[in-house]
Structures are given as structure tokens and as C-alpha cells.
Structure 1
Amino acid sequence: MRLVAASLSGQSDAEWARAASEHVDCAILGGIALDAPSREAARHLVARDREEFLPADPVAFVDEQLSLLSDAPLETGFNVRSSSIEPVRAVGGVCREHGAICEINAHCRQDELREVGCGETLLRDTDRLCEQVRAAAETGARVSVKVRAEVPGVDLVETARAIEDAGAEVVHVDAMDSEPVIRAVSEASDLFVIANNEVRGRESVHEYLAHGADAVSVGRPSDDPRVLSRVREAIRAWDAREASA
């Protein structure tokens, strides 16, 4: 896995993933709110014109969307938001059945989500974050955690070590304007590191790979095949150069 299509709330479904599959190795669907508080927060976001997935049964929706990709030539995952443990465990089980990654969202910074203990609030509370990681990992699913850099009071190196101990295998880092954090996290753990933020072509891809990222992800332009093609070619160029060094 070298190129990932990153989740976009209310947009990243099975149709989106299949459209990107010509270029990417993995698509993370979602994010999706799983429990009553996170779903109420998502409704408030929709009321102010943000897109959100709000199916009647979120766990069944995850199962349905992953089933639609059972024959797709790519790895899959689902980014989830929850203020409680049991829905995360339930989706972890669904992801395990589909061989998909269960990605815990400790990334979103909308006030509505932070107020119910999701997203960035979860990133600030390592104990609660690790509880969710353990719940998903205990199902046998491969677990990722989506995080962001430049959050005051949060040491991503320590967070990486903690989630690895809790059972995570992947950390998906929105580096913001702190690209060297990718190297710090990579050197501090054995987690598979996906680097995210303004991945558009050769310069950004090579910078992240030089800092030790195992893969890069494309967010907003993930529905643009021109961007995905440029990023894929940049990865190939890097790998070819490394192989000949």
C-alpha cells in the first residue's frame, strides 16, 4: 500500500472508491458517525451545509458499502467517529469480515464533534482513544488511527506509541504544516505511517516519503483522476530511484 484515497465525510462511499481504484491501492470510506451523540453532531453539521453520511443503521451501512467493493482491486477501510465503545467494536467486526481497515477518527475538529468527545477531543484523551483502538483490534480487524499535527498539548510521538500498544497497526497523519512529524512518528514506532495534507504531486510526495512515510493519502482531490495519476507517478519515480540507489 503506497497510495491511499482518504475519507471525506458524506462523499467517500463505494462508488467513490471504485472510481479511484485505477490509481490507488487503498480507499478509506467514511467518515461516519456511529452512536447517538456523534450522529446528532453530524445532523448539526448537515444543518450548516456540510455533507455527512446519516443512514438509519450505520453498522449495516458500513457492511453494505464494503460488500459493494468485494470485487474491487484495492484494499478498503472505514473511518468511524463515536463517543462510545460498543459501536466501534461492532464496526470492527464488520471490517474484519471484509478484510478492511477500521480507522478511528481522532482528527475532525468541528465544534459539534469535539463537544461530544469525538475527533480532535479524542486525540487529546489518549486513554479514551486507546479504549476505542483496543475495542476494534480485539475483533481481529486491522486498526488505523487518523490524527492531526499541531494540536496544542498533543505529542504525536507519544500518541503513536500508545495506540501501537493498544493494537493499532496504522497511523494516518494529517501533517498540517509540520512535515517532519512524519519522521518523528515513523522512528518512534513500528506503525505503518500514512502521510496526508496537500498531497498533489512530485514535490509533496517525495517530501513525505523522504521523511519516512510508508504511504501517502489524497483527500479533497481524490475524485480527480489527474491528481491521482500525478501522485501515482511520483511514487513510482521515488521507488525506482530508491531501487537503483
Structure 2
Amino acid sequence: MELMEALFATVTSLLVVCVIGFFKTLYKEKAKNRALFEDVGRIEVEKQRVIHDYTLETERVKQVHAKEIESLKQQSAEKLDKQKRDHEIDIQKRKYKYENKSREYHKFMDELDAFRGLNIEIIENELRPMISAWFASDFGISNKLFAEANDKATAIISSVRAQEAKLFAQVNGVKLNAAQEIIDLLDALRATITQSKSYLEGVIGYIFSEEFRYTKRIPDEINAKAAGLNERTADLNKKLLAALKADLDTL
């Protein structure tokens, strides 16, 4: 009987120890699980905080970028608009400059053609008949033909000088906005025109001289001044016209 009680007490003690051990182990596992759950909770909270912060930062960056993009669009639109306005203004300026230059060049070329035409007209249509009439006269200084011829020659010289002055005034105006090539051609043309005028004046002056009365011919030294004048004038005129057109094409 005592043996049974002792065995029972021993088994009971073992059971108590096992139960206590089991509960200790269970408590420890629960503590671990609780700690794990707490860690998971903290991690989830941290994750949510990170997500929240990231979302806010992302939204902030998107807003900043959107503002920057809108600002760039605005700047680009303003820049494009300014470029368009500047381009339109530049076109208007070039058009104005082209029209002014074109008008000036055409006016000058008309004056030049008129001056050359006057010289040719004088030499071919006025001097020749005047000289022929002078040959047919009695060469009397006081006769009516001489007086008329003298008045006509004076008027011719005055007209040529006036037209030369008008043409050279145009030359100076053209030079103000002309390229160096055009200026050089104008200088050469001006010299040739002056030579042409001098030749015309020399011929007119000589036919009223005592020498012409007896020789009835123009001396070679006077005629030599006319050599190539028309050709040079025509060539310079052609080159000048080409240079003026090229200058207008660059505008």
C-alpha cells in the first residue's frame, strides 16, 4: 500500500513537472509569438509610414515636375512667340530696306540711262546737223546761224552739267548703303561719265574756234578722248546693274 502511494506520488510529481514544463514552454512560445507579432506590427507600421511618406514625396515631386513642365511650356511658347514676332519684324525691316534700295537703285539707273542717252542724242542728232549747217554757212561770226548754234551749244553744255550734277547726287546717295564692289563701280562710272562730258564740251568748244573754221575737222587729240568711252560706260553700266541686283538678292 505504501508502495502504491509512493508510486502515485512519484507519477503525480512527474506529471506536475511535465505540466509545469509544458506551460513554461507554452508561455515562452507565446512570448516569442507575441514578440514576433509585435515585430510584424512594427514592421507593418513602418512599411505603411514609408509608403505614406513615399506617396507624399512622389506627389510632391510630381507637382514640382508638373509646375516645371508647365513653366517650360510657357517659356517655350513665349520664346516661340517672340521668335515669330522678331522674324516678322525682321521680314518687315528687310522688305522696307529692299523696297527703299530697289527704289533708289531704279531711280539711279534711270538717271544714268537718261544721261547716257542725252550724250548719244547730242552727238548723233544735234552736233552732226549743227556741224553740217556750219559747213554750209559762210562762217560769218555775226550771222544768224552762228548765233543760234552758239546758243544751242551753250544750252547743251548747261543741260549736260546739270544732269551730271543730278546724277552724281544720286551716286552719293547710293554709296551710303552700298557694298564696296558697288562703290568701286560707281567711282569708275563717275570718272567715265566725267570724261564723256569733258569730251562733249571739248568738241562743242572746238567747233566754234578759229582752228575749226579753217581745218573743218576735230583734232585727233580731242577725238582720242572719246575712244572707248561709250564701250566703257556700257560695260560699267552692265556690271553695276548686275551688282545692284545681287545686292538686292542678299536682303
Shorter-chain TM range is: under 0.3
Larger radius of gyration, structure 1 or 2? Answer: 2
Q: TM-score with structure 2 length normalisation?
A: 0.23
Larger relative helix fraction: 2
Larger relative strand fraction: 1
